[in-house]
Amino acid sequence: MGLIRRTFGFMAIAVLLLLAFAGGWIVGFVRVGAAYDTALLTDIERQFTERMRDVSLVGTFTVFGRETRNAEGRGGPRIDRYDISSIEKVGENLWRFNAGMECCGVKGRIPIVIPMRFVGDTPMIMMTDTEIPGVGAFTVRLFFYGDTYSGTWQHGKVIGQMSGRIEKKAS
């Protein structure tokens, strides 16, 4: 009886520690936290957050070595789309993209916190082996300019390019 009680107590503590660890890991992993006060943003940062409210990134991507085939096995790049309701600065060079996506086995809305820097007036995503929940680790260099975006991406050994337009959603 004493052995069963100790075993049960040990298992209960282990489960509680595991839940606490998992909860902290999830919060830290997605870096869901308070956004910076917009009054603290630079003019360029504020303009970009306004530009990226209720937009869709609509474009194409390629996979090196497979540039002449699309998802149906025919020629041409593959189409991709990311719906962004808003972006928020949540840390030094960390931005949360409140986005919806249909890519890489993920369909739905997820907040994605990614490193982004401003090079002059050009916002640039600079991810290196950054984990995206439910998708995996990516290395990305993507810049935004005007109503366009363009860059390179890598997921494991798969490498490619992506580009497209930033389109305002109809109200």
Our separate counts of H helices and E strands in the chain read 2, 8
Under the banding of pLDDT at 50, 70 and 90, the label for residue 143 is very high
The pLDDT of residue 25 is: 47
pLDDT per residue as tens digits for the range 1-24: 677 777 766 565 655 544 454 554
Sign of CA dihedral 26, 162, 41, 118: positive
Domain 38-168 has what CATH class? Answer: mainly beta
Average pLDDT over residues 142-158: 95
Under the banding of pLDDT at 50, 70 and 90, the label for residue 32 is low
pLDDT per residue as tens digits for the range 83-116: 999 999 999 899 999 987 665 555 667 788 889 9
Q: Is residue 69 predicted with pLDDT exceeding 90? A: no
